Structure 1
Amino acid sequence: MSTYTERAWDLRPATPGDLEDIVELRAVVMRPDLVRLGRYDEHRVRQRMRDSYVPEHTSVVVVDGRFAGCVTLKPHEDGWCLESFFLDAALQGRGIGSGVLRRLLARTDAEGVPVRLNVLQGSAARRLYERHGFGTEREDPVDVFMVRWPEPAA
């Protein structure tokens, strides 16, 4: 399995036309964790994305010129909220998710504001977030709520 350098992928602004690709990716990527937690619903997993989609705060991950994922960074209280970070399962573990996070976190660090997110209990994504400085604020039986405080400028 090869890793991707930052030059092999890019982020572009999302459009309303990206919604159904994102909806389907979300359903596929989240299915194993939602099934494990007893919360998978074929319709609900898609409808929640349709109801919450905000293209102006969403970026599409492009690999080799094709749709490969998405990430949403929305204003939230005193900083930002990272949501809907999905990457095609065939591309996971190749450094793309870390690269996307580094790019987004450089921006939020420059602003000096925290980033919050929630991840499903037992999700492998939690390790990715912890590697990038996120810590647990609180947990419930389904979600882990995490925060990353800005890193000081070098």
Structure 2
Amino acid sequence: MNVRPALPGDREFLFEVRRATLRTYVEQTSGWDDAEQRVVADGEFAVLPFSVVEEDGRPIGYVCVLHRSEYDFIEEIALLPEAQGRGIGTELLRGILLAAERRGVPVRLSVFVDNPARALYTRLGFEVVRVEDPRVAMRWEPVSGGSAGARSP
């Protein structure tokens, strides 16, 4: 697996992954309109630090983490459906947690209430901070002397 900064030519791929992974959740809340979602996505892709996740030289997803002085925020992690369920998301998250632990900062994220990824976040030590339906705010705290994401049920 390789993670590289997204390039302008990746925008269509990033949007297709977003559509494949988030459309169901957005449809349940505010409705999905391709043209509207593309405008939002293009704006975000232009200013946020997206990275493309590759496997064997082929793009399979993306990740966007915002690094603040007091915490890291996982803006998005999205993998194509065929790349899900193979431990790639876990590996990406563990890398994010390890980097945050080295900096001594917590990691925050927001996820749709019914997104199955919540189970992964919980398994890696994230705790629910608040529920603002349709999303759940979660937080992970670094543990000194431990390895990131090593907590298990």
**TM > 0.5:** yes
- Residue 107 of structure 2 corresponds to which residue in structure 1? 115
Alignment partner, residue 21 of structure 2 = 29
Q: CA deviation at 1:131?
A: 1.4
Contact 1:26 1:46 in 2 (8 A): no
The 3 A distance-change label for structure 1 pair 46 and 127 is farther
Query: Which runs of structure 2 are paired with 1:1-154 in the superposition (5 Å)?
Result: 9-37=1-29, 39-53=31-45, 57-76=49-68, 78-154=70-146
- Aligned-residue RMSD, C-alpha: 1.8
Distance in 2 (alpha carbons) for counterparts of 1:27 and 1:117: 20
Deviations 1:33-79 (A, max 9, x none): 22334533323333222122257722211012101001011123611
Structure 1, residues 117-145: CA drift from partner, whole Å, max 9, x if none?
11112011111111111111111121111
Q: Is the 8 A contact 1:73 1:81 kept in 2?
A: yes
CA–CA separation in structure 2 for the residues paired with 1:44 and 1:146? 28
Deviation above 4 Å: which 4+ runs of structure 1? none
- Aligned residues with identical type, % of pairs: 34
Where does structure 1 lack aligned partners over 5 or more consecutive residues?
1-8
Contact 1:112–1:150 under 8 Å retained in 2: yes
CA distance in 1, matches of 2:44, 2:15: 11
- Residue 75 of structure 2 aligns to a residue whose secondary structure is strand
Match of 1:3 in 2: none
> Once structures 1 and 2 are overlaid, which stretch shifts more, 34-43 or 132-141?
34-43
- Consecutive unaligned residues of structure 2, counting only runs of 5 or more, are 147-153
TM-score, length basis structure 1: 0.85
Distance in 2, Cα, partners of 1:20 & 1:84: 16
Whether the 8 Å CA contact 1:134–1:146 is kept in 2: the answer is yes
**Matches of 1:54 and 1:107, distance apart in 2:** 24
Higher-RCO chain (CA-CA 8 Å, sequence separation at least 6): 1
Query: What is the number of residues matched between the two proteins?
Result: 146
